[in-house]
Amino acid sequence: MINKYIFLICVISFAVLSRFLPHPPNFTPVAAIALLSSKGFNNRWIAIIIPMIIMFISDLVLGLHGSIPFVYGAFILISLFGSLVKKINIGVVLSSSVIFFLVSNFGVWFLYYPSTFTDLITCYTLAIPFFLNTILGDLFFSVLMIYSFYYMQKRQIISA
């Protein structure tokens, strides 16, 4: 049997390392980790802190930017959302993609665009290609990590 926390630490380490590998923009495992943490850790604060640690460690190397509060805020919301749902399914994963898209791009508009409704729509429109990458990344990493976690729990490969 594999200890649940060992599995989660390995997944989290993978997430940090994956941000340094070449990948399409927004095709990252962080939202999947936020959802997984919300189900894997009983303590809600740990579930919220895990994605923040992943982002902070990798952002120290990749670079800090002005919209970080919005990006981190999106992952906090995703962690909280994951803790409110009974089980993570495709609808929850897609909803987390929408949360990230709306919050992070609101931050981009708020910080870098004129404060008009037209520019808000322009910002969201220009972000659509990134949104597609977000959806694909969230689905890919959720299947890879969350469903493998559920599968191993069901088969009793993972212990508490």
Given a cut of 80, whether residue 55 has pLDDT beyond it is yes
Question: Among candidates 130, 136, 139, 138, which has minimal Cα distance to 67?
Answer: 130
Crossing angle (nearest 10°) for helices 128-141 and 90-112: 140
Given a cut of 70, whether residue 120 has pLDDT beyond it is yes
Mean pLDDT along residues 11-24 = 84
How many residues make up the chain in this entry? 160
pTM of the full predicted structure?
Answer: 0.89
115: DSSP letter:
S
1: DSSP letter:
-
Question: Among candidates 118, 125, 19, 141, which has minimal Cα distance to 71?
Answer: 19
- The domains found in the chain, sorted by start residue, are 2-159 (1.10.1760.20)
Given a cut of 70, whether residue 25 has pLDDT beyond it is yes
Crossing angle (nearest 10°) for helices 30-40 and 128-141: 40
- One-letter identity of residue 67: S
